C-alpha cells in the first residue's frame, strides 16, 4: 500500500513539494495538507485534488509520514497540540523548518520518534528542487528510503551525517533561489537601462541562467573553466567579470551565506529551547 503523507502547513514550501510530488506521479489521494484556514486549503484541493483538513491531530492519526511545514515560530505550539496523536501513530516525521534541531522537535512531539530534518527549496514546485536531509538515530533504512523517495520526487537529494551542516545547506540551496531571483531583478533593471524592453531582458537573463546551470551540470569541467571559455581575451566578458571581481562579489557572497547560516543557528537558539 502506498504511504499516506500529511503536510502540517499548506504554504509556499508545502505547496511546492506537493505540486512536485503529484507532477512526478504520487497519487493525490495519498496526500493531505492541513491549515487552520480553508482559504489556503480550497485552492490546493481544487487545483491538485489532494485531501485537506483543518484538524492536525486527526490527519496525523491516518499518516505514515508527517511533514512539518509551518513557520518555525509556531512549530512548538503545533507540535505540542498533536503530540498525543503522533505518539499513538508513531509516523516518520519530516521537518522542513529552518533552524529547529531534530532533538527539540522530537521532544516537543513527546520523544523517541524517527525524525528526518530536511532543508528543501521552492524550485521543488517544478521538479528542480535541491534538498539536504539529516536522519536521527531512530530512522531505519526503510524510512530513510521513504524520505529519499519523497524528496527525490521533486529534485536532488543530498544526505548529511552532521546535523549542523543543514545550516550550510540552508545557505547554499534552501535560501539560494532568492539570491538568483535578486540577480534576475538586477539584470532586468540593467538590461532595461541599456535600452532593452524589460520583459525581453528578463527572459534573456532567465534563459541564460537555466542554460548555464544545465551546461555546468552536464559538463565534467569546473565552473572556473566554463567561465574562462566565455571570456575572450580583451573581450566583453573579461571586462564584466573583472568588474564583478573588483566589486567584491566573492566576498559579498561569502558574507551573505555566512549571515544566512548564522541566522539558522540563532533561530535554533531563539526557538529551540526545550
Q: Is 97 in the site for ligand NAI (CB under 6 A)?
A: yes
Span interacting with ligand NAI, options 57-65, 116-124, 211-219, 254-262, rule CB under 6 A: 116-124
How many CB atoms within 10 Å of residue 48? 17
Tell whether residue 69 is a contact of ligand NAI (CB under 6 A).
yes
8 Å CB contact between 170 and 268 = no
Evaluate whether 66 touches 33 at the Cβ level (below 8 Å).
no
19 binds ligand NAI, rule: CB under 6 A: no
In this chain, which stretch among 20-28, 70-78, 191-199, 203-211 interacts with ligand NAI, using CB under 6 A?
70-78
d(CA 177, CA 120): 11
- Range list of β-strands (E), the chain: 5-8, 31-34, 51-53, 65-68, 92-95, 115-119, 129-135, 155-159
Nearer of residues 191 and 272 to ligand NAI, judged by Cβ: 272
Buried-state track 178-203, b at ≥16 Cβ within 10 A, e below 16: eeeeeeeeebbeebeeeeeeeeebbe
Q: Does 193 bind ligand NAI (CB under 6 A)?
A: no
Chain residue at closest Cβ approach to ligand NAI: 11
Interaction partner, residue 36 (ligand A1CAB, ligand NAI, none; CB < 5-8 Å by kind): ligand NAI
Alpha-carbon gap, residue 45 to 22, rounded angstroms: 12
Q: Classify strands 115-119 and 129-135 as parallel, antiparallel or unpaired.
A: antiparallel
Contact between 85 and ligand NAI per CB under 6 A: no
* Pick from 15, 163, 200, 22: nearest CA to 2: 22
Q: How far apart are CB 97 and ligand A1CAB at their closest, in Å?
A: 8
Closest approach, Cβ 177 to ligand A1CAB, in A, equals 8
| CB 135, min distance to ligand NAI, A | 17
Nearest approach in angstroms of CB 78 to ligand NAI is 5
191 touches ligand NAI (CB under 6 A): no
Please report, as ranges, the residues that interact with ligand NAI according to CB under 6 A: 8-14, 34-37, 40, 56, 69-72, 74, 78, 96-98, 119-122, 174
Amino acid at each position: 500500500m502506498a504511504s499516506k503523507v500529511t503536510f502540517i502547513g499548506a504554504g509556499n514550501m508545502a505547496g511546492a513539494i506537493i505540486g512536485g510530488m503529484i507532477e512526478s506521479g504520487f497519487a493525490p489521494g495519498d496526500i493531505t495538507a492541513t491549515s487552520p484556514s480553508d482559504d489556503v486549503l480550497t485552492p490546493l484541493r481544487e487545483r491538485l485534488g489532494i485531501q485537506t483538513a483543518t484538524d492536525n491531530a486527526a490527519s496525523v492519526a491516518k499518516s505514515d509520514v508527517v511533514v512539518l511545514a509551518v513557520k518555525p515560530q509556531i512549530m512548538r505550539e503545533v507540535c505540542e497540540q498533536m503530540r498525543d496523536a503522533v505518539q499513538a501513530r508513531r509516523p516518520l516525521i519530516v521537518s522542513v523548518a529552518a533552524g529547529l534541531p531534530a532533538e527539540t522537535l522530537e521532544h516537543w512531539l513527546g520523544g523517541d520518534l524517527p525524525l528526518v530534518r530536511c532543508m528543501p527549496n521552492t524550485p521543488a514546485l517544478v521538479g528542480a528542487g535541491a534538498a539536504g536531509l539529516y536522519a536521527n538515530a531512530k530512522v531505519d533504512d526503510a524510512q530513510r528510503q521513504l524520505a529519499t523517495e519523497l524528496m527525490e520526487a521533486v529534485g536532488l537529494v543530498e544526505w548529511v551525517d552532521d546535523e549542523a551542516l543543514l545550516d550550510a545547506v540552508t545557505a547554499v540551496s534552501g535560501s539560494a533561489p532568492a539570491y538568483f531571483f535578486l540577480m534576475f531583478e538586477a539584470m532586468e533593471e540593467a538590461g532595461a537601462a541599456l535600452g532593452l524592453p524589460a520583459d525581453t531582458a528578463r527572459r534573456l537573463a532567465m534563459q541564460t541562467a537555466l542554460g548555464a546551470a544545465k551546461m555546468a551540470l552536464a559538463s565534467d569541467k569546473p565552473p572556473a573553466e566554463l567561465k574562462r571559455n566565455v571570456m575572450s581575451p580583451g573581450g566583453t566578458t573579461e571586462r564584466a567579470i573583472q568588474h564583478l571581481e573588483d566589486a567584491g562579489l566573492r566576498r559579498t557572497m561569502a558574507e551573505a551565506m555566512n549571515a544566512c547560516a548564522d541566522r539558522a543557528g540563532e533561530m535554533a537558539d531563539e526557538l529551540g529551547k526545550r
